[in-house]
Amino acid sequence: MLHCFIHLFKFGGSILYPWLVFVHAVSALVSIGPFIVLIPMLGKLRTAEGSLLHAYLDSFQFVVRLSKHSGHVLVISGLLLMWLGEWPWKTPWIAGTFIVLFGSLFFMARAFSPTIRRLRQSEPYDRTALLKKLSRSLYVYLFILVVMLWLMMMKPALW
């Protein structure tokens, strides 16, 4: 089955390549876009209580999960585009993107979920400090995503 799949992509590469570019672009949009919506929600988290607080935290968690899953599609489609387009791994913007990607994986694993979990706890906590951490994580992660987007779109010769 894998052999048929590989043959289809190699043989029909000229047909499938534009569709893969489209899938890659849409998955990048879905990975980045929802985080923008969270910016105004940060202010509402400062005063939200009870079920409203949990609804906002659910939204944050949903965006993080959505970004993770669309990131999987983004990486797989990117690898297929590299393969079909015969882009070597040593291409500066590809290597740079993967370096930033691996760094973002470690960042995302510790940036959002522990803070959201702590905000859900009913015991007393310093909401201001946790929201500041969540806000900082959001802006840092958006910056990382924009750097990856810049690398993929501008394809700079880094070395």
To the nearest whole number, what is the mean pLDDT of the chain? 86
- pLDDT of res. 10: 57
pLDDT at residue number 95: 92
* pLDDT of amino acid 151: 92
The whole-number pLDDT of residue 127 equals 82
Amino acid type, 69 = H
Q: Residues for the chain: how many in total?
A: 159
Give the per-residue pLDDT at 70: 92
Nearest alpha-carbon partner for 32 in 121, 147, 126: 147
DSSP state for residue 86 in the 8-state scheme = T
At 5 the pLDDT is 57
Condensed to tens digits (0 to 9), the pLDDT of residues 13-22 reads: 567 888 999 9
Q: CA nearest 149: which of 42, 31, 4, 21?
A: 31
Give the pLDDT of residue 3: 59
The pLDDT tens digits for 142-151 are: 999 999 999 9
> What are the residue ranges in the chain where pLDDT is below 70?
1-14, 122-124
Amino acid present at 50: G
Q: What is the pLDDT of residues 126-145, one digit of tens each?
A: 888 899 999 999 999 999 99
CA distance 121 to 103: 29
Q: What is the pLDDT of residue 86?
A: 84
